Amino acid sequence: MRLSDFKVLSFDCYGTLIDWETGIWAALQPLADKAGGKTREAALTRFGHHESAQEKETPSLQYSELLVRVHARLAAEWGVATGPEADRKFGASVPDWPAFPDSAEALAYLKRHFKLVILSNVDRASFAGSNKRLGVAFDAICTAEDIGSYKPDPANFRYLLARLAELGHQPVELLHVAQSLYHDHAPANAAGLNSAWIDRRAAEPGWGATPEAAAHYDFRFTSLAALAAAHRAE
């Protein structure tokens, strides 16, 4: 199997193209300072727990509003005071989360060889802010707001495949590119899709803001730049 066998790349955004862990940790600083003694890794792990639980409980809730609730849940767990203003500031922080340094350049290269699609667990407004950092026009953008559920719900991948058909492509022509084994690779496996793992946490222990999961993947790279380089080498 070669990267050049595919005609369309679908991407998770947060954790794959956008450095969400850096963004989350920065946005959590006021709350973490109140709680005292919270390490980045411990805070990200608890964020991942509460985010995935909230997504299951309220699958139709817009992501910025979902983050409001996650912030309040973390405050309650850590035994510190919060309020509507602080919760909403965290919920609105997604456009401030930085892109990985290699994302824009790698996407610009890949755009010359593939159609590019986003499949993301956010709302349209939040993604629009992030898209400015990525500097590329995607051929299709599929968000949780459009779908009414959050990955790893199979409905999100059914929606992706429907959009793929509208673009004139078959599932065999699609490679799903993502960091999260839990949110992306496991449901991509179930949907019969090939996938490439962008293992952004390869140098770090644990799973950070993403719940642990087991999944199969067809390619593994530690950066998007490495994927682009592998395609260039082909």
Active site residue 87: no
Closest CA to 1 of 159, 179, 157, 196: 196
Q: What's the longest Cα–Cα distance across the chain? A: 55
Four-point Cα dihedral 124, 19, 5, 156, nearest 10: -40
Alpha helices in the chain (DSSP H): 20-27, 29-35, 40-57, 63-78, 84-91, 103-111, 124-134, 144-147, 154-166, 186-190, 224-233
Under a CB-based contact definition with an 8 Å cutoff, are residues 147 and 155 in contact? yes
| Whole-Å CA distances, 199 to 24, 70, 207, 222 | 18, 25, 10, 5
Give the SS3 label for residue 203.
Answer: coil
Rounded Cα gap, residues 161 and 145, in angstroms = 17
Spot the catalytic one: 5, 12, 184, 218. 12
Residues tagged active-site:
12
